[in-house]
Amino acid sequence: MPRMIFPPTSDGLRLGLGGAALGNLFTAVTDDDAQALLSGALAGGCRTLDTAPHYGQGRSEHRFGLALQGQPRDSFVLSTKVGRILVPDASAPREQHGYVDVLPFSQHWDYSAAGVRRSVEDSLQRLGLARLDVVYIHDCDRACHGERYPAVLAQVVHEALPVLRRMQAEGLLRHVGLGVNDVQVCLDVLRQTDVDALMLAGRYTLLDQSSLPELLPLCSQRGVRLALGGVFNSGILATGTRAGQALFNYAAAPPEWLARAARIEDICLAHGVPLRAAALQFPLAHPAVDVVMVGARHQREWQDAASMVQQPIAPAFWHALRQARLLPDDAPVPESAA
C-alpha cells in the first residue's frame, strides 16, 4: 500500500476533523465551542484536519489557525482549498451558501494560476502558518459550474494544478488534490494528469457507493490517497430516518434514499449495531482510504465519533447487508480488511 498522507490519531483511529461545521454550516457554533472542540480533538490525538475559505467566508480557517498556535508543526496534517477568492465586502450578507454568521466577504470563483496562488497565500495568512500539508482544488465539478464545466476543467488541469505543483516545489505545500462531491470530475482530471489525494465527500458511504466501480480502483492503481468527507451523507446516517426530517447531501432526503437508509437502519437494529458506527467503519475497509473526516460541531460529537469508530461489529452484520443487496459484492467490509 502507498504511504498514507493522512495520519490516524495518536491512538491509531483513522479519524480526522473536518471544518465545514466550524464555518457555521446551517447553524452557528460559538467561538468558545469551536475552540473547545479543536483543542479537545488535538489533545485527544487528532492529527488530520481540513478547512476551506468557503466555510463561513474564512471563519473556519481563522478558528483552526487560532487553535493550532503553539502546536508543533509536524504534529498535524492540515488541508485547505482553492477555487474561491474572498473579497472584503461590508455589504455582504451574513448568511451565504448555507453558512450563517459569516465573515464580511463575498466570494468569487477563480481557478486561474494567479487566483490559486492568491488563495493559498490568503489561507496561510488566516491560518497563521508558513506551509500547508494538502491543498485541494474545491468544487470544480459540473454540478457547481454547469455549462462552464469544460472550461473550468481545462483551467484546473492547465493552470491550477501546475501552479500548485510550483508552490509545492517552493515549500508552501506538500500535496495536491481535489476536494469535491462528484466522481466524474475526479475521473476527468485523472485521465489527464496526476494528483496526490482526494477529499471526496458523500460518494463512498454506507448509503452511496457511486465511487466504487471506477474511481476507487483507479485511486488504488495510481496511489491516490483518499480522505473521505460526508460519510453520514450530511446527516441521514447519523440521525437515521426515524428522528424527523433527515438530510441527505445537504438537502431533505429524497424518498428513494430515505427508503434505502431505513432498510440499513433496520439491519442495524436487528444486529445491535449503532448506525453511526457502521457508517464510520464501512468506508475505512477500502485500501485507497486513509481516513474519514468528521464534521463535528461540539467536542461531544468528536468523542462520539471516536467511540463509534471503535465499536465492535460482528461479521454477520456485513453479511446481512450484502444479502439484502445494500452493499455491492465487491465493496470491502471491515472483516475482510482485517
* Catalytic positions: 50, 55, 81
C-alpha closest to that of 131 among 171, 91, 164: 171
Are 5 and 289 contacting, i.e. CB atoms less than 8 angstroms apart? no
Q: Which residues pair with 95 in a beta bridge?
A: 100
**DSSP three-state, residue 4:** coil
Contact 227, 293 (CB under 8 A): yes
CA dist., res. 214 & res. 100, Å (int): 37
Task: Take residue 205 and report the three cell numbers written for it.
Answer: 458511504
b/e per residue, 231-261, with b = 16+ CB within 10 A?
bbbbbbbbbbbeeeebbbbbeebeeebeebb
Name which of 171, 169, 168, 234 is nearest 197 in CA terms: 168
CA distance 294 to 240: 17
Which of 307, 210, 306, 326 lies closest to 266, judged by CA?
326
Query: Which residues 6+ apart lie within 8 Å of 157 measured at CB?
Result: 189, 192, 193
